[in-house]
Structure 1
């Protein structure tokens, strides 16, 4: 086998890109173990906690597509550097926030930085590693760094809260950001900018308004009720904005979201499953974070450790699924993964109780996480295989945006069901959340079974014969 050696500049660029992905995913997972601590510190309710989580995810999801175009227009290095600077300064603001309102605003700015970091980090790797074999390995290490961050987030968060306080979960980003910025400025390649690349600002504004108003309506419904004028108004604004977004994208010369992509049944199903999977996963993490701390009275450190088996299995099964997808095909793995996840959530629904021992929940949590981990790389592979190579970047961006939107909706909807932390009422809402996840995952499996094409046996034999 040919040995692939990397230059010092390539290694430094890879570390910088990996650190950018690490801080983004770290702040997705690390905050969950601080929920109960934040609730007590700021004397807030579940709706306030939802805003701490969703303010970040909302902006991250809404800006992902445009930030990719911005990287083309201004150059990946410049956008990546700006993203790291914004994210690091926002992390400082989060760590110093004297009240909940400023913390939420700082999380919004963090989401902006995250959206600038992710697409441009991949662009940097594409520029730094022109050799396809080198680039494939680099992207693999980049993904592994993100997986480690996602798995380590709850444990690291628990340790920081126990020994430093909740502010530590944000301030830990400062040394990472400083190192990432230094490596980027010194070693990352500088590619020519493309100032003619369009940004589709009207479409971006319509998308953000649709997502923000829907998130606000779902979050505030837990306090105000579904028929409150502000909640109804938020839903109405979301529908109007979504309609405007569809019209703009259909008539734009350079749309942020080319609607022609959805002519592919595989792409449409993969995108829908992306929403469902993240809805179930992030909804589960939000609910169980509160369950472990508010109901079972575990410490943040114990809560972080409680999530470790589930997040660790995500990394392992991601690697397994990546190797199986070319052998078994997307249809078989998507259906199997969704069925396994649905079964895991069903077992949790049947077993979870205020006095239930943690060890009895480990196997169902592992099954749920394993199923989701099988689906994620499979639907990514299916998405990229279903579109023309020229649209691979935008297709990947759409899928990632759909997943973030699913996670945001999962926190908002499940947060509504568990809005009362009184154990009896909370557990009822928890059961409703788990039942909804079972239904959605099962529907995704049925959709995948009937909508995705079965792989041609001759093609599979030719690939592996």
Structure 2
């Protein structure tokens, strides 16, 4: 019995390591590419439009397929979908690194987005299966989220080092050994989730969901370059609204819908999704805006820019572990609310930052934002795992991560329109963006207090 317990505990730790590896390289890829853009442009001799799509193609595929990926995880088992996603992502990363032109690179980035979308909902479902005990699960989720957040913030620094030493291909090829290790660990140690094979595929719902999320993402991405009132942007939003309405109508009538609308009767799911959207709106938008601010207003190099983000990322893992302990002891509402409060304070502090501000004056607001986000992220994931039934864990995770991804895309689009290198005063745009991030964050704080009447139990209620 003791030997079985030790073996089971070891397998759970390896499963945590495997899912964290998958989430790490996915999050790393979100930001690491930004510092390599100039080298990619020079190396492949491509124009600015193609260069933008090197970044945006990944985001577009990732955001569009998260809901479908969550449903596939529930139907075919989280381990199978996670391994498939990890394999696709690893293969696509190698293809990116070996690309000789814009077409192959952009197509490979789309394939990376497909792999990432398959991995994220299934990784959270795997954690739920590997750590069925609520308090252990809360700690595991905090580690999973902490390593991913650290990777997200470390992206500019890692990218700067790899590009300077080995060239732009290295930021993609480095994913191959990580991917091989993660796939092996998952197959060898991760437990599978219950497969709901009798569930029929909701092809109409999946098609409408992909069109809605793709057109919404495309419109937001293009708004930074074309403007929010351009015909193609407004058309994209209009299509997203129409297909989104059709999606809801189809789901309401389908016997086995892609997205069971009853999920949204669960206050925990709603609050977690809103909180996740606001977290990524501010954090992703800030990363994008501050990267431009450092390089265009302060004239820092890519490596110096990466180093400037270190105060925000250095404490992420510690804060995530603290969040896990707070969640295990007090429930998820406390770290969720406290984290959002700290993040809002950090955003507001950026109003006092200018191009000639000292390193300390810039580091303190970034540090506050980093701690706040790191405290909040594990709690929203833990909340969803604890309050959604086993048959809907994958799709609920897909909903949460879709909300977060949409928040990130909108944040980058809005912040990008406010902080552009051609503006005479980049700092003024940064100040407006920071205030907007604080307002969105504080708005989500209100939903936490109104929507969560209790501290947030970690014992699953089987909802959904």
Distance of 1:446 and 1:390 partners within structure 2? 30
Choose 96-105 or 248-257, whichever is displaced more.
96-105
Q: 1:17 to 1:448 in 2, by over 3 A?
A: closer
Larger deviation: 305-314 or 387-396? Answer: 387-396
Give the CA deviation at 1:208: 1.7
Instruction: Report the Cα distance in structure 2 between the residues aligned to 1:82 and 1:390, rounded to whole angstroms.
Output: 20
Q: Is the 8 A contact 1:84 1:117 kept in 2?
A: yes
Query: Relative to structure 1, is the Cα distance of residues 260 and 320 closer, same or farther in structure 2, using a 3 angstrom cutoff?
Result: same
CA deviation profile, 1:215-256 (whole Å, cap 9, x unmatched): 222232333333332222111111111111111111111122
Q: 1:344 is matched with which residue: 318, 343, 346?
A: 346
- CA 131–449 in structure 1, closer or farther in 2 if over 3 Å, else same: closer
Structure 1 match to 2:252: 250
Give the match for residue 461 of structure 2.
none
The answer to whether the 8 Å contact 2:289/2:430 transfers is: yes
Could you tell me which residue of structure 2 aligns to residue 28 of structure 1?
A: 30
Check 1:191–1:434 CA distance in 2 against 1; reply closer, same or farther (3 A cut): closer
Map of 1:88 onto structure 2: 90
Seen in structure 2, the aligned counterparts of structure 1 residues 403 and 181 have a Cα distance that, compared at 3 Å, is same
Q: Does 1:379 align with 2:380?
A: yes
Cα-to-partner distance string for 1:17-59 (whole Å, 9 max, x where unaligned): 44323322221232243355556766655x7665444432332
In the other structure, the counterpart of 1:437 is: 437
Asked whether the 8 Å contact 1:50–1:415 carries over to 2, the reply is no
Alignment correspondent of 1:463: none
Displacement, 1:262?
1.4
Give me the whole-angstrom Cα distance separating, in 2, the residues matched to 1:349 and 1:394. Answer: 38
1:233 aligns with 2:235: yes
Aligned pair 1:115/2:120, yes or no? no
Return the alpha-carbon distance in structure 2 between the equivalents of residues 139 and 269 of structure 1.
Answer: 18
Deviation at 1:338, TM superposition (A): 1.9
Distance 1:365 1:96 in 2: 36
Matched-pair contact (CA < 8 Å) for 2:63–2:217? no
Q: Check whether the contact 2:345–2:438 (CA below 8 A) recurs between aligned residues.
A: yes
CA distance in 2, matches of 1:186, 1:446: 44
Residue 322 to residue 210, structure 1, CA distance change in 2 (3 Å): same
Separation (CA, whole Å) in 1 of partners of 2:230 and 2:216: 14
In structure 2, what is the equivalent of residue 65 of structure 1? 67
Deviation at residue 408 of structure 1 after TM alignment: 1.6
Preserved CA contact (<8 Å) 1:261 1:267: yes
Distance 1:238 1:404 in 2: 16
Separation in 2, partners of 1:194, 1:385: 19
- Note if 1:106 corresponds to 2:134: no
- Structure-to-structure mapping, 1:398-413, within 5 angstroms: 398-413=399-414
Give matches, 1:10-25, under 5 Å.
15-25=17-27
* Distance in 2 of aligned mates of 1:50 and 1:349: 28
C-alpha root-mean-square deviation of aligned residues, in Å? 3.4
Give unpaired runs (5+ residues) of structure 2: 459-464
Q: Which residue of 2 aligns with 1:223?
A: 225
Q: In the alignment, is residue 310 of structure 1 matched against residue 323 of structure 2?
A: no
- Whole-Å Cα distance in 1 between the matches of residues 126 and 275 of structure 2? 29
In structure 2, what is the equivalent of residue 6 of structure 1? 7
Task: Give the TM-score normalised by the residue count of structure 1.
Answer: 0.85
Alpha-carbon displacement from aligned partner over 1:187-208 (angstroms, at most 9, x marks no partner): 6667896543333222122122
Q: Does 1:421 align with 2:421?
A: yes
Mapping 1:186-201, distance limit 5 Å: 195-201=197-203
Name the CA shift for 1:317/1:260 in 2 (closer, same or farther; >3 Å): same
Partners of 2:426 and 2:449 in 1: how far apart?
Answer: 35
C-alpha separation in 1, matches of 2:332 and 2:190: 35
Task: Tell me what 1:169 maps to.
Answer: 171
What runs of 5+ residues in structure 1 fail to find an aligned partner?
A: 461-465
Measure the CA separation in 2 of the matches of 1:369 and 1:304: 15
Alpha-carbon separation, structure 2, partners of 1:266 and 1:182? 34
Q: Are the counterparts in 1 of residues 211 and 240 from structure 2 also a CA contact under 8 Å?
A: yes
Cα distance change on mapping 1:23 and 1:455 into 2, 3 Å: closer
Deviations 1:133-180 (A, max 9, x none): 987776666555435533543322121011112221111112222333
Q: Secondary structure at the match of 1:411?
A: helix
Q: What's the TM-score once normalised by structure 2's chain length?
A: 0.85
- Is 1:370 aligned to 2:371, yes or no? yes
